[in-house]
Structure 1
Amino acid sequence: MEQPDSGGQIKCRYCRKIWPPEHFRTARGKPSTHCRACLDAKREETRLRRERMGPAGVRAANLWDKYRITVEQYDALRAAQQYRCGICGTHEDDITVILTGRPRLDGTPTARAVRLVVDHCHNSRRVRGLLCNNCNTMIGLSSEDPAILRAGAAYLEASMLQ
């Protein structure tokens, strides 16, 4: 967000119009570099593009944008792991998927969640494999630090001996 001028007004980095500071908040109240009108226009543009792409196109775009893998590479990983989580070994058919996330603005149901999620290194962006959501969350909450995970395992093992 650009600095306010002497009158407290801010210039939008997208449309270049001058607006009061309260126009530079997202729907959730976070500061933005774009005015509310530009944010709304961008959201609508994205919605229309995703609608044209369809669910399969959106899935392919998400896999590529986030992890630089294709749907075929994802499916090959699933097969290589025998459709099981890379940590706990739970088969994807046995993973309960709880639909989460915000509801869609148009009221349509959210897409069916995948059962195995892509695990990747946040530093190198390298894909490590596929995990169930619980194991992926465990890796993330440990800050991807093997020492924390080993300490957690030692703690659990010691408590079982008591």
Structure 2
Amino acid sequence: MRGGLQAYCRECSAEYYRQRQEAKGRTVREKLLVPLGHKHCRGCDEVKPHSEWHRKSSAPDGLASRCKACKAAAGPADHLRRKYGLTPAELDAMIAEQRGICCICLAAPAEHVDHCHETGRVRGVLCFSCNAALGQFKDRPDVIRRAATYVEGNAWKPTLVAPGVYQLPS
């Protein structure tokens, strides 16, 4: 309203909101009474002191949405799901399909998920070195081919065009 006040009190407004959400078929969580210096974790459904939470400056209360224990428990699996859309079981199946070794060097254990940075599609599981090398080459096949040619020793060898005249490859 003009004076900065709402037309209804906080409790009536909350009840009206609840009724509208239930009419839409949605459920609204019950508001918990949490003591000062504590916060409710949605992951484990417990009320814990602020010391059990990571700091998060963008959150209204300055704390993360899940407690440290829940975040640690969901850490690797949550990362796989968010970044690559994989479950731990799917990752294990990919590694087993590759017999546990890197697809490129065929020597080191496969531990790092490789994906296309343009499409986000998962290509396979590589060792750290091979995955980092692809990242350094920016996933460009032409650069990778030139690198292979260079390593094979053919890249900068001059070719004899005429007696005493050499041509460098372009």
Q: Which amino acid aligns with 1:85?
A: C
- Alignment match, 2:123: 128
Give the structure with the larger strand fraction: 2
- The superposition leaves residues 57-92 of structure 1 with CA deviations (integer Å, 9 ceiling, x where unpaired) of 211110000000110000000100000011101242
TM-score by length of 2: 0.52
Structure 2 CA distance for aligned equivalents of residues 136 and 91 of structure 1: 11
- The superposition leaves residues 86-111 of structure 1 with CA deviations (integer Å, 9 ceiling, x where unpaired) of 1101242xxxxxxxxxxxxxxxxxxx
Q: 1:78 to 1:50 in 2, by over 3 A?
A: farther
Do the aligned partners of 2:115 and 2:121 also contact (CA within 8 Å) in 1? Answer: yes
Aligned residue among 57, 60, 67 for 1:38? 57
Aligned residue among 70, 83, 94 for 1:66? 83
Do the aligned partners of 1:50 and 1:58 also contact (CA within 8 Å) in 2? Answer: no
Structure 1 CA distance for aligned equivalents of residues 117 and 95 of structure 2: 21
The structure whose Rg is larger is 2
Which gives a bigger RCO, structure 1 or 2 (Cα 8 Å, sep 6+)? 1
Give the structure with the larger helix fraction: 1
Structure 1 CA distance for aligned equivalents of residues 61 and 102 of structure 2: 36
Unaligned runs of 5+ in 1: 1-36, 93-114
In the alignment, structure 1 residue 54 sits paired with structure 2 residue 72: yes
Do the aligned partners of 2:80 and 2:88 also contact (CA within 8 Å) in 1? Answer: yes
Number of equivalenced pairs: 102
TM-score by length of 1: 0.55
